[in-house]
Structure 1
Amino acid sequence: MASLIAAATFFVLLHLLVSGTRVRDAIAAKIGDGPYMGLFSLASVAGLAWLGFGYAAARNAPWNASYWDITPATRHVQLGLMLIAVIFIVVGLTTPNPTSVKQEGALDRPDVVKGMLRITRHPFLWGVALWAAGHLIVNGDRAGIVLFGAMLALALFGTASIDAKRKRALGPKWHAFATQTSNIPFAAILSGRQSLKIGEIGWWRIAVALVIYAALAFGHPYLFGVAALP
């Protein structure tokens, strides 16, 4: 358990206390953006691997008590959240977005705010948040709470961290983009700053997400040793 907690702490703090702060700016100013991104990527991969191995070792340990169990209702809720999560993640990864790494230039496009960005400017992270929340619902054991709780916290606080980083780096360009969009999904639409246009998202993106969702749902017992479907 100690290794899992240490891995979760390292992975979360690496992103929240380094990536999105002035610490990142200071390091990049000294060694350059390229070397910084290389070192940060290596640290992230190492942290993610540590987290995975720590969870694998902890999930079957005798002390890994469970505080709640999966039920038919929570299983169906989780499956619904996973569908939305996969759509957000796939669309987020395939949509030009100035909040993504090395995509700040998207702000120069007059039509940058379209599709999923009308819903949220952080679709990938909100997808991760939904994925983590859904898994927390059906994984009430201590190891699961640490793993999925850490990923949920990282995704939610990560949106604010990226916003702060982009604001420092891009100034007025970022302000114009931020005022047209929202961090919280659908907030810009509900406030009247945007309108929902599903067609702009790209039906091919939604189709890819559905295929990935089906593959994960049916392949879950082979990939992770636990059935996702009833």
Structure 2
Amino acid sequence: MSIFLLLLAAALWVGWHVGVAGTALRGRIVGLTGEMGFMIGFSIGSVASIMLLVMAWQGAELWFLWSAPRELRWVLALAMLPSFILFIASVTQPNPTSAGQKLAAGGPRGITRVTRHPMLWSFAIWAGVHMLANGDVASLIFFGAFLATCLLGMPSIDAKLARRDPEMWARLAPTTSILPFGAVFSGRGRVEFSEIGLRPLVLGTVLWVGLLLAHPIAFGVAAIHF
């Protein structure tokens, strides 16, 4: 039964973020409540849904499907480094998720040349890594809910951006991509590492090392085994 409750909580989390925030339903709600009213209600719903998801995960049975070998854990730990770098870049540089208004004036710069959604990719990598590392049904559902939200949210955000500011979208879409480096590999764009700078790399690496060391204390299990 607890796995079933976890499935319901995961469906609520994904549905709240993709089915409400990412559809025309959002516009209808904003028409009734105003933008501020929607944001308050959406924030309350988000906190409630993630609390339910965490509690359902903690109470679910442990049905193991596989146990990640030591070598895979090293690979997964290394895969978390770009997640931290993308996260730092997403909160320090303009991108469609966090600073769309800044993009309107200058066009794509910095991390946006790599991907339009650095923060969502950061969480997507985090979720995918933990699905592979844990190997149990409850973790697949729990982290899978975040992975699904991120992957479904990217085209949803793009669609909202295109509707809200067609002029900016016309400048952004041809030279950027959802998939990291997708526009670069297809010849539509280029990456200027000088625009990204050292801050995401340095701070991301520091946070990565810090979390590797603190993981046993914070979460009760070592991220890697020597």
TM-score when scaled to structure 2?
A: 0.93
Q: Deviations over 1:49-72 (max 9, x none)?
A: 2212221222xx3xx211111102
In structure 1, what residue type is equivalent to 2:90?
A: G
In 1, Cα distance between equivalents of 2:194 and 2:100? 24
In structure 1, what residue type is equivalent to 2:114?
A: I
Partner residue of 1:219 out of 203, 214, 221: 214
Structure 1 vs Structure 2 CA RMSD = 1.4
Partner residue of 1:98 out of 92, 96, 99: 96
Q: How does 1:1-230 map to 2 (within 5 A)?
A: 1-58=3-60, 61=61, 64-100=62-98, 103-110=99-106, 112-230=107-225
| Secondary structure class of the residue paired with 2:177 | coil
Structure 2: gaps spanning 5 or more residues: none
In 1, Cα distance between equivalents of 2:96 and 2:121? 16
In structure 1, what residue type is equivalent to 2:53?
A: L
Q: Deviations over 1:130-156 (max 9, x none)?
A: 111111111111111101111111111
1:210 CA displacement: 1.3
Note if contact 1:218-1:229 (Cα within 8 Å) is conserved in structure 2. no
In 1, Cα distance between equivalents of 2:162 and 2:138? 36
| Secondary structure class of the residue paired with 1:68 | coil
Q: Deviations over 1:41-95 (max 9, x none)?
A: 111111112212221222xx3xx21111110221012111111111112211221
The percent identity for this pair of structures is 37
1:229 CA displacement: 2.3
In 2, Cα distance between equivalents of 1:206 and 1:46? 34
1:9 CA displacement: 0.8
Number of residue-to-residue matches in the alignment: 223
In 2, Cα distance between equivalents of 1:125 and 1:77? 21
Structure 1: gaps spanning 5 or more residues: none
Greater shift after overlay, 14-23 or 162-171? Answer: 162-171
TM-score when scaled to structure 1?
A: 0.92
1:108 CA displacement: 2.6
